Each structure stands twice: as structure tokens, then as C-alpha cells.
Amino acid sequence: MLDQKVSGNSGDRNKIYFLIIVIVALLGTNAYLYFRDKHDNERFVTTNTEKDRLKLEVEKIEVELDKVNIINTTLTQKLLEEQKLARQKIAELKLALQKSQFTQSELAAAQTQVKELRQFVKNFGEEIAQLHAENDLLKIERDNLIQSVNIISEKAKKLEKKNTELNNKVKTSATLKAFNTEVLAYRVRNSGKQIEVNQAKTAKKLVVYFNIAPNPLAEKDFHKIYLRVFDPAGNLIADANNMFQANNQLMQYSEMITLAYKEDDATYSIAWVNPREFIKGTYNVILYADDATMGQAAVELK
């Protein structure tokens, strides 16, 4: 009886030990599964949190890139290409970060790309700022150059004006001037002899006599002398095809001669035959030389 009782107690203890081992094993398994799930959940939460942070970082980088473009600076071809490549990477990152699941390697790659983009935008902004500063300096130099050119141009205009005025004064001083100017009327006999008259009905031509005042500035050369004749009514008597320039005007002339000026006391004359009949009254004549008025005179016919 005693042996049976001892044997029964031993069997019960073995069962109890077995149950304890089973319970410990179950508890260990549950603990393992709990901590594994907890680790996976924490890793999933950490991954999502990092992904959201990266999304926000990419958006900030894009905003910073947009801010840089607000600067009114013309970009070089190199900067334009770099900016285009950066925007392509931003678009790719945005698309990648929209995935619901992210591996650790993908997350690490995204972190690296974001870091590179952040550095690029920083460098890009510095280059733009430097380019903008250089452009401002060039604008200042350009404005200074334009101002200098304007000043020089203004001085040149003033000098040109003074030279023109001086040339006009010299030109005016060098023009021939007539004195002792006298105009006489003549009739012409069949023999060709001229007879002075003061009657309009017998006059056929006018002859203007004049001397030239000494002028050391005048060219000792041939000069064209133009004559304009006005009838008593003030009408110019001239051929419409006879044109010349004087006193900054284009005018018609009645007669023209060429004389050689030698700065002497010679008396010159210019004859004009009236293509019409003379009428009673005063005929006025004006002489021109070297693009200016030379002298004038008048004759009265009865």
C-alpha cells in the first residue's frame, strides 16, 4: 500500500511539472509574440512618422526653390538645367512618398535625396544671390557708363554748336560785300551801243555796278554772283528754273555771273535784259554771293 501511494504521488508531481513547463512555454511564446508585434508596430509608426517628415521637408524645399525664383534675375543655362533637374527629383520624391509601405532601404534613400536637395537649394540660392549682386553691379556700371556717355555727348553737342556758330561767323565774315552799288537803265541801239535812259518805255536792260569791300578772310578765287530783280509791284522777275541757295533758303534768281575776286579796287557789273516791257516805277535789285546777301540798289523809271 505504501509503495502504491508513493508511486501515485510521483506521477502527480510529474504531471504538475509538465503543466508548469507548458505554461512557461506558452507564456514565453506570448511574450515573444507581444514584443515582436510591439517592435513591428513601433517600426511601422516610426517609418510613417519619418515619411510624413520627409513629405513636409520636400514641400519646404520646393517653397524655398520658388522663393529663389522670385528674385528678378536672368538665370544662366547651367542654373536653369540644375533647377529643372531639382524639380524632377522633387516630383519623383513626392510620388515615392505616396506609397503606403516603405522599406528601410527606400526610407534611407529618400532621406539621402532630401538631404541632397536641401543642400542643392542652399547652394542654388547662394548662386542666385551672387548672380543678382553681380547683375546689380553691372547695372550700376552700365548706368554710370550711360551717364558718362550722356555727359560726353552733351559736351560734344555743345562743342559742335560752338563750332557751327564759329564756322557761321567765319563764313559770314568771309562773304563778299558790295559797296558803291548802283543800277542804271539802258536802251540798246541797232549798232549795239548802250544809252542810259530813265524812261520805262525806252529801257531794255538794267546794269548793276558795284565794288567789293576788301576782305582778307574771303577766298581769292571765283565767286558766283546772283542778281534778283523786283518790278515796281514787288514781283520777282526770274526764270522758274534758275535756283540758288542763300540765307538758308532756296530762291530764284534773275541773272548770274562768275567773277574772280582779287581783293582789289576793281568795279564789277552784272547786266540783266528784261524779258518783258518795263513799267513806270522803282525797280529794286539785290545781289547775293557766298550764300548771303551781298548788296542792293534801286532805279526809278518814269
- Domain ends where: 135, 169, 197? 135
- Domain ends where: 135, 170, 202? 135
Per-residue pLDDT tens over the stretch 1-26:
445 444 555 666 666 666 677 566 66
Q: Which three cell numbers stand for residue 14?
A: 510529474
Mean pLDDT value of segment 169-198: 84
Q: Any idea which residue has 534778283 for its cell?
A: 228
Task: Domain count for the chain, please give it.
Answer: 2
Per-residue pLDDT tens over the stretch 50-60:
777 777 777 77
Q: What is the pLDDT of residue 186?
A: 95
Q: What is the pLDDT of residue 279?
A: 94
Q: Given a cut of 90, is residue 244 above it in pLDDT?
A: yes
Q: What is the side-by-side strand order in the sheet with 194-197? A: 194-197, 178-188, 205-212, 267-273
Q: Is 210 inside a domain boundary?
A: yes
Q: What is the mean pLDDT of the chain?
A: 78
Confirm whether pTM is higher than 0.95. no
- CATH, residue 289: 2.60.40.2560
Same domain (yes/no): 203, 118: no
- Cα distances from 13 to residues 4, 8, 10, 116, 160, in angstroms, run 14, 9, 5, 68, 131
Q: Is 164 inside a domain boundary?
A: no
Highest mean pLDDT among 81-85, 93-97, 281-285: 281-285
Q: Any idea which residue has 516610426 for its cell?
A: 46
> Is there a contact between 255 and 227 (Cβ–Cβ < 8 Å)?
yes
Same domain (yes/no): 183, 126: no
Highest mean pLDDT among 70-79, 151-160, 266-275: 266-275
Same domain (yes/no): 194, 129: no
- Domain ends where: 109, 135, 161? 135
The residue count of the chain comes to 302
Same domain (yes/no): 15, 130: yes
Same domain (yes/no): 194, 291: yes
Per-residue pLDDT tens over the stretch 257-281:
999 888 787 899 999 999 999 999 9
Q: Is 149 inside a domain boundary?
A: no
Q: What is the pLDDT of residue 291?
A: 87
Domain extent at residue 96? 2-135
Q: Is 104 inside a domain boundary?
A: yes
Q: Is 201 inside a domain boundary?
A: yes
Residue 200 or 134, more confident: 200
Q: Is 38 inside a domain boundary?
A: yes
Highest mean pLDDT among 46-55, 184-193, 211-220, 281-290: 281-290
Q: Is 155 inside a domain boundary?
A: no
Q: Is 183 inside a domain boundary?
A: yes
Same domain (yes/no): 228, 130: no
